Amino acid sequence: MTNKKIVLGQVKEPTLFEHVAPVFLTDDTINERKEKLLKEMKNSNLDAVVIYADKEHGGNFEYLTGFIPRFEEGLLVVEASGKCTVILGNENLKMAAVSRIEVTLKHSPLFSLPNQPMDNDVALEDIFKEIGLDKQQKIGLVGWKMFTTTRHDPKGFFDIPYFIVSALLNCLTENSEVVNAAHLFIGGDAGVRTINNANEIAHYEYGANLASSCMLNAMNAVDVGVTEAELGAHLTAEGQTNTVVTIAATGQRFEKANVYPTHKKVQLGDPLSMTTAFKGGLSSRTGFVVETEDQLPTNQKDYLERVAKPYYNAIVHWLETIKVGMEGQVIYDAVEEIFPKEKYHWHLNPGHLVSDEEWMSSPIYADSRETIKSGMIFQIDIIPSIKGYTGVSAEECVAIADVQLQQTIETQYPELWDRIVARRAYIKNELNIELADEVLPLSNTVAYLRPFYLAKEQALLVSKKKD
């Protein structure tokens, strides 16, 4: 594997696609999701799964119901027979009627906010018994987290409130078994949420398109004297909920432990980080508020050569290397070879899966035998940390799709396919990246990196000239 010659040059900015409407999941997709889960439950000999949700951890619940319980907690119980029950608090009882799968409703005011009415104050144990969980032999608990520790047996780790776990354990017999079953949803080998059909990719592209459009608008708004709050306003759109804390941070970060945009003004020479994300995609950038290299801090005059260009080279190789059927360790090792940890001190996975949440799980890690599959949606996420230097980032989202899935997208969602084709052409023709055939850019700004925010007509790209 050889390093590409990376240069900072004149590059036209990518096209933004505006007024792209959300794509709803079809009934067929929802039915397919439920059947996939029932199949994996059978493979794991589970009689039932109890799926937890709150506002921050609702992805697995929403995968089937289509909603989250917002400011309350909720449970979805799926039995091996296919019968489904939702247990909801006061202010979400109405949502059962619009659930995407057929459900029986049970009310538990324990899931409501403090000091709300406790009408129908039935013990949670009794509700579980009404459902029949006390007669099941093996039950899977699904929060949001699949524990991947190698020092302990993760089956007994539960990321669900204690009052729920204890109520379930109290209603079971000593012969019953309760295990963490989050892997049914997000496990890289067989997790039902890790592979998306054409409808799901169209559904999630809405957020990736929106996030990248916000980011390009924010980058174009960067100027000396603008405030973090003004930049942050560009990082929200269409009333959609962000799936991460929005970042618009100039100069020294985390002053007084603050993680939100403030009215601090951007100064010439400042480092600047910006991040936004919606369901389906995240966009992130870090660089300097300068126009030319001589405006960089004295101790970082070599920022381009030491940090930005090597990072961009790693992004290029990621996009040119990934293929369906490839083991995760191959991608990991490719990044390590071209962008070694010892020198660049990245620590997390160089790429992870996204959907309703920003980080679902990842098949890309050291010695991973999990394979890259058609239908996966990835966030390219390589984070260098070099002492004395500002970081760099160009995190964006792509789908991996084989020929059959590409043809289905083209047939069922021709407007989406046109956007994908345009994004691929931009990456190849403007940035000179030989994009792998399976990579479908869902973001408008995949591989578009301005290390100098004030040089708005410049970006990093692969040089066509030979050394």
What residues contact 312, with CB distance under 8 A and at least 6 apart? 6, 392, 394, 447, 449, 460
Q: What is the reported pLDDT for 362?
A: 95
pTM: 0.96
Q: What is the reported pLDDT for 1?
A: 58
pLDDT tens digits for range 112-171? 999 999 988 899 999 999 999 999 999 999 999 999 888 888 888 999 999 999 999 999
Residue pointed to by tokens 């995949």: 446
Task: Give dist(CA 23, CA 416) in Å, integer.
Answer: 10
CA 366 to chain centroid, in Å, comes to 20
> Which of 1-5, 207-211, 340-344, 365-369 is predicted least confidently?
1-5
pLDDT tens digits for range 269-299? 999 999 999 999 999 999 999 999 999 999 9
Read out DSSP for 56-81? Answer: SS-HHHHHHHS---TTS-EEEEEETT
Asked whether the predicted pLDDT for residue 314 surpasses 80, the reply is yes
Residue 421, sorted as left (phi over 0), alpha (psi -120 to 50) or beta, turns out to be alpha
- Alpha carbon separation from 181 to 43, 59, 153, 175, 413 (Å, rounded): 12, 14, 13, 18, 34
Task: Give dist(CA 8, CA 303) in Å, integer.
Answer: 12
Percentage of the chain exceeding pLDDT 70: 99
* Strand order from edge to edge, sheet including 74-79: 104-107, 84-88, 74-79, 48-53, 138-142, 177-180
Q: What is the reported pLDDT for 425?
A: 98
